Amino acid sequence: MKKVSMAVLMSVLTFGVASANFEGGVPVPTQVANAKGGFVSGAETIVTVKQVNEMRDDVHVVMKGNIVQRTGGDTYLFEDSTGSITVEIDDDDWRGQTITPTDTVKLYGEVDRGIFSTEVDVEYVEKL
């Protein structure tokens, strides 16, 4: 029984340490990623609303456009030149910024594809 308990304990500790610095693969804006400085390639692919609507679930995306309306709770309407999409932005994702419909923003997030609709779960809002 002691061997089984030790094996379980070691597994939990190993996996806990291995995932402690995991950030989920969301692209982090350069001013956050490089707080200490360093090289940044600048390669960042901006996708359109039209492209997001054709993507599969859980794809990480960066979109550029305007948040034009709050639709309720944590959901907002985001627009670019190709259309509009619902985005979910939690309070801490705003990072203290005040955004108006005239402000251009970059949204870093993940496609959340449902049966009847597609939206983006935003991880970070960057005011441009």
Q: How far is CA 105 from CA 15, 31, 48, in A?
A: 36, 15, 13
Q: Are residues 22 and 55 in the same domain?
A: no
Range of the domain at 118: 49-127
Q: Are residues 19 and 80 in the same domain?
A: no
- Give the position of tokens 């441009």: 128
Residue-wise pLDDT for 99-108, tens only, equals 999 999 999 9
pTM of this prediction? 0.67
Contact indicator for 97, 127 with CB cutoff of 8 Å: yes
Q: Are residues 21 and 53 in the same domain?
A: no
- Residue 106 pLDDT: 95
What type of residue sits at position 59? Answer: V
Q: Are residues 18 and 59 in the same domain?
A: no
Q: How many domains does the chain have?
A: 2
Could you tell me if residue 40 is inside a domain? no
Q: Are residues 16 and 74 in the same domain?
A: no
pLDDT class for 40, splitting at 50, 70, 90?
A: low
